[in-house]
Amino acid sequence: MTATLERPAPARKRTVTPARIALHVFLVLTCLMTLAPLLWAVYASLRTYEDTSVNGYFSIAKSLTFENFAKAWEIGDLPHFYWNTLLITIPALVVTLLLSSMVAFGVSRFSFKFNIALLMLFTAGNLLPQQVIVTPLWRLYRLIVVPEWVSESGSLIDSQLGVILIHIAFQMGFCTFVLSNYMKTIPYELTEAARVDGASVFRQYWQLTLPLCRPVLAALATLEFTWIYNDFLWALVLIQDGDKMPVTSALQNLKGTFFTDNNLIAAGSLLVALPTLVVFFVLQRQFVGGLTLGSTKG
Amino acid sequence: MVLHTPGSTPLPHFGRRTMLRVMLAGAGVAATSGLLSACGGGASSGGDSKVVTFGNNLSDQVPKDAITAAVKAFEAQSGGLSVTINTKQHEQYQEQINNYLQGKPDDVLAWFAGYRMRFFADKGLTSDLSDLWGKVGGNYSDALKQASTGTDGKQYFVPFTQYAWGMFYRKSLWQERGYAVPKTLDELVALSTKMKADGLIPIAFAQKQGWPAMGTFDQLNFRVNGYQFHVDLLAGKEDWQDKRVKDVFDTWKRLLPFHQENALGREWQEAAQTLQQKKSGMYLLGAFVGQQFPDADKDDLDFFPFPEINPEHGTDTVEAPIDGYMMAKKPSNSDGGLKLLEYLSSAEPQLAYLKADPTAVATNQKADQASYSPLQKKVADTIKNAKHITQFLDRDTDPGFASEAATNGLIAFIKDPNSVDSVLKGMADQAKNIFK
Amino acid sequence: MTAVQEKPKAVAPSGPPPRRRGKRATALAGTDKLVLALMLGIPTIVHLLFVWIPTLGSVALSFSEWNGIGGFEDIEWIGVGNYVEIFTEYPRFWPAVQHNLIWLVFLLVVPTSAGLLLAVLLDRELRFSRIYQSALYLPMVLSLALVGFIWQLIYTPDGGLLNSLLGLSANPVDWIGDSDINLYAVLVAAAWRHTGYIMLLYLAGLKSVDPALKEAAALDGASSAQTFFRVTFPVMKPVNIVVLVVTVIEALRAFDIVYVINKGRNGLELLSVLVTDNIIGEASRIGRGSAVAVVLLTISLGFIITYLYQVFSKENRT
């Protein structure tokens, strides 16, 4: 069977049929159309305000410059906000994966009566619209007392910890779902054998199951990084100190109340998108793996 | 070649080492983050009488640098106080004010005078500043004191700067074309007709952000119905379905054909740029329109008060919003906060700030006007000579009414000017719900 | 460690894991029970505390009138008044419901069919396939807020790309400001980001279809179109369900993009925007906002339960 499958493939590659050419033309055009908005933003970001305000955007650039990027970097204080994002994203990511792998391990390796109920709870929670929980969450955060070295406000309000916590609580749903589906495909004999050998539950989880889940964990990590990085609402609602905002929410700072310079905004937008684009290009396979995992095992 | 069996997902290979590194890196950052926030928290934790916190809504680079410089000047002469500035994006600051005041607000914080200040003072979210006013009251005119006074007769606000709304235009363009400042509505219509014939957009217009058209409504309403009706209407004491309100919108309808089209998809900055580029003839906006002008063109900008519509009221009212500062209900450093507020009420920081933002004027009446531009002098005179001063629709009414009913009502009207009746019914219904 | 890793590889080729019912429940030692309880308990508590309890809180608050200031004692309980108000008086409510529905239908039709088509085209031996795929799903790593920013450069009536390309510079179409078309303009931007995701999901689905199935169909003389619709597509049912859910949730959650563009006014009203406007604005109307949130919750739960039923009923049967 393998042979019959393999043979026509190389042969097909060489023959250039009109259908093939049409396919390539179609795909190239589609790709260009997909990339067009981004390329347009890049083009705008490389032009000066003086140029576009006189000639409009739909014109040949007088000169191209990286000035806008330097300006956005400085005015937007981007290094600072990137750092804020990192402070939120990485801990949220690690803890989410840790906690959801625990739940997934529990429900996929042991049969409890509440297994499915628990999974449903997590999955449903992840699908809720965020706005539904905003107000009570804010109130709840104000009631939770934390030491001042964790949050200057003395509560979870206006603290990065608060944002991290809600990301964990929310994103756990998706990760638990994906991880439990994956763990179910790991042969039961494996943990059973370990159990017979006297391995503790924790050992079965930490040393046996988790290493096998490495590809899924990597995929989920890539995906969750993008999602948490791109979050806009939680920080907007829960953080009051402008200096603590993550970079996605801080982008608004570039959109001045008093002076609008679309070229600058374009440059700023591209800079904000940069980390996710880098992750995308470097870890593309993990990213794709993560997305498709949830689906084919559903 | 890999043959895919059902159920096997093409999974990326991710070595154990790499995975471990990712996890470790994550854990490492998590750990340092804890440490760092610990340090940060320790340095600026409350109860330190040497630190005053300052909530700033001037997020743009130029005004932000200007206010920072003003605050630094305070530090130098305060005898050892240091000010921590918390800057938030201008519009975000307003949206979050409610949660902000109830959470952990800064000691001194930026806000707006009038109804919008009273709303929060009434709820007990800001401090009584009457004692401070006993000291600095001489700096301000009565109109400013009134605008800083809450419903209980106490002061809760310290004015900083003020600007005016009017019809802005470029002197050079008008000279070139021989346009004259219109004194009445009919003259305005005649001028607009002429501009249109000359290939100009008579009145620049933008309403994407939802608030600029409120300025148009304000001008029309107090010109048609007078100051008292205007403030009563906005305070929920008059009915939005009143014939007099309908008159305002009918007048507006007459002017709409002279307004720039597609206003709902345009931001005011873009409209202002058409004025600067001499594509449009005039623009009804606040003096901040000048911020869209390059320095070389700033002297070419002039304005006139919106023309008279009803002789009974003439042009006796000027819309001149006041920006300033309040103090949190429980500031962590009350003495320092009062000192900072006292400093901000003096002429020096106001004039220093205006150097960076020469479209506004100082509120301190002792401020020396020598450094003012001709436009600033005109704004200052207009404000001084006005019989009545309004703030702005969203500062003169309930914030909920402004952001929901008024914003969306005006948008609906601009979208379909013939829908006035249903628009006004909607606004009236919502007003009844809010002003109970 | 290495030994452990070897094991599954040895076991895996023996085909799908045998599911033996009842075998899993083995008696657990005391510490193991405790460890397991903690492993399941802590995440569950975190999730319940920060997700589900606030959700119930919203339901409760929807029966109140409260401006969000002060403590719980300042809340006035008014029964179903908020619901009456949003259904009968609140002018933005019904448009928002309508826009959410249009959003849903549009996303279900356009990006789904485009994504499926692209997946089918790319699911073959093809030069540059990787490059095509990368380009097509690149937009999905961008946040919706950013998508909003970027597309405004295209739509703006004064010198935007679209009007210039269409030769409408003299008499531009107001893509964002005209409330008859702006929803669709924004939907194109949203679909731009969504299509790549759908394509990926289907691509994975297609790859997991046993080639033997297709081959068998081909041997029976079925055309490739017939093979696709009769064999491949039905086999991909799990993917279809995931696509459906992802799309529905995306449609109900839509917020960032319209909020960035014009705060969700003038034809871009969405339920999520109404909730946000009412509860985090300068003057909050928590009760009314929560009532809208509950409507959104109810619609979401309808889909969520259907989905859970689909996914988990299968498990119950095994």
DSSP per-residue letters across chain A: -HHHHHTHHHHHHH---HHHHHHHHHHHHHHHHHHHHHHHHHHHHTS-HHHHHHH-SSS--S---SHHHHHHHHHTTHHHHHHHHHHHHHHHHHHHHHHHHHHHHHHHHS--TTHHHHHHHHHHHHHS-GGGGHHHHHHHHHH-B--TTT-TTSBSTT-HHHHHHHHHHHHHHHHHHHHHHHHHTS-HHHHHHHHHTT--HHHIIIIIIHHHTHHHHHHHHHHHHHHHHH--HHHHHH---GGG--HHHHGGGGS-SS---HHHHHHHHHHHHHHHHHHHHHSHHHHHHHHHHHHHT-
Q: Average of pLDDT values for C69-81?
A: 83
Closest to A97 (Cα-Cα) out of A227, A246, A1, A195: A227
Which member of A133, A233, A288 has the closest CB to residue C55?
A: A133
Binned at pLDDT 50, 70 and 90, residue C90 comes out as confident
Tell me which CATH code domain B165-319+398-434 carries.
3.40.190.10
Interchain contact, C92 vs B95, CB within 8 Å: no
Residue C3 confidence (pLDDT) above 60 = no
Residue A27 confidence (pLDDT) above 70 = yes
- The pLDDT mean for chain A works out to 82
Which member of B16, B27, B292 has the closest CB to residue A211?
A: B16
* Neighboring chain A residues of C62 at a CB cutoff of 8 Å: none
Q: Average of pLDDT values for A258-278?
A: 82
Interchain contact, C266 vs B415, CB within 8 Å: yes
Interchain contact, A110 vs C308, CB within 8 Å: no
Closest-approach residue (CA) in chain C for A162: C50
Q: Which of B281-290, C92-101, C216-225 has the lowest mean pLDDT?
A: C216-225
Strand segments (E) across B63-207: 82-87, 108-112, 158-162, 165-170, 201-204
Each residue of A204-247: pLDDT tens digit?
Answer: 898 888 988 888 888 888 888 988 998 888 888 888 777 888 88
All structural domains of chain B with their residue ranges:
16-161+322-372, 165-319+398-434
ipTM: 0.83
Measured between its terminal Cα atoms, the distance across chain A in Å is 28
DSSP state of B149: B
pLDDT recorded at residue A292: 64
Identify the segments of chain B with pLDDT beneath 70.
Answer: 1-48
To the nearest whole angstrom, how far is the Cα of B6 from the nearest Cα of chain A? 10
Three-state DSSP at C265 gives coil
Q: Average of pLDDT values for A7-34?
A: 77
Interchain contact, C174 vs B404, CB within 8 Å: no
Closest-approach residue (CA) in chain C for B422: C91
Q: Which of A26-35, B322-331, C116-125, C309-318 has the lowest mean pLDDT?
A: C309-318
Put simply, whether B46 touches A (Cβ < 8 Å) is yes
A 130-149: CB under 8 A from C: 130-137, 139-140
> Tokens for A157?
């309000």
pLDDT recorded at residue A293: 61
Binned at pLDDT 50, 70 and 90, residue C26 comes out as low
Secondary structure (DSSP) of C90-156: -TTHHHHHHHHHHHHHHHHHHHHHHHHHHHHHHSSS-TTHHHHHHHHHGGGGS-HHHHHHHHHHHH-
Residue A257 confidence (pLDDT) above 60 = no
A 26-85: CB under 8 A from C: 26-28, 30-31, 34-35, 37-38, 40-41, 44, 52, 56-58
For chain A, the chains sharing at least 3 beta-carbon pairs closer than 8 angstroms are B, C
Three-state DSSP at B162 gives strand
Give the predicted TM-score (pTM) of the model. 0.81
Q: Who has greater pLDDT, B73 or C71?
A: B73
Each residue of C224-283: pLDDT tens digit?
Answer: 788 888 888 887 877 887 788 788 888 888 888 898 888 888 889 999 999 988 877 777
Which member of B1, B26, B89 has the closest CB to residue A93?
A: B26
pLDDT recorded at residue C7: 32
Residue C46 confidence (pLDDT) above 60 = yes
Which member of C137, C159, C241 has the closest CB to residue A57?
A: C159
pLDDT recorded at residue A256: 55
Each residue of A56-87: pLDDT tens digit?
Answer: 777 887 788 888 898 888 877 889 999 999 99
A 160-179: CB under 8 A from C: 165-166, 168-170, 172-173, 176
Each residue of A141-152: pLDDT tens digit?
Answer: 888 888 877 777
Q: Helix axis angle, A78-109 relative to A67-75, nearest 10°?
A: 70
B 262-321: CB under 8 A from A: 267, 269-270, 273, 277, 288, 291-292
Asked if the domains B16-161+322-372 and B165-319+398-434 are classified in one and the same CATH topology, the answer is yes
Which member of B9, B125, B210 has the closest CB to residue C263?
A: B210
Which member of A125, A136, A291 has the closest CB to residue C47?
A: A125
DSSP state of C74: G
pLDDT recorded at residue B35: 36
Interchain contact, A129 vs C238, CB within 8 Å: no
Put simply, whether B43 touches A (Cβ < 8 Å) is no
Put simply, whether C280 touches B (Cβ < 8 Å) is yes
Which member of B7, B26, B38 has the closest CB to residue A94?
A: B26
> Tokens for C253?
């959650």
Q: How far apart are CA C242 and CA A295, in angstroms?
A: 6
Architecture per CATH, B16-161+322-372:
3-Layer(aba) Sandwich (3.40)
To the nearest whole angstrom, how far is the Cα of A197 from the nearest Cα of chain C? 13
Interchain contact, C177 vs B430, CB within 8 Å: no
Q: Who has greater pLDDT, B228 or A55?
A: B228
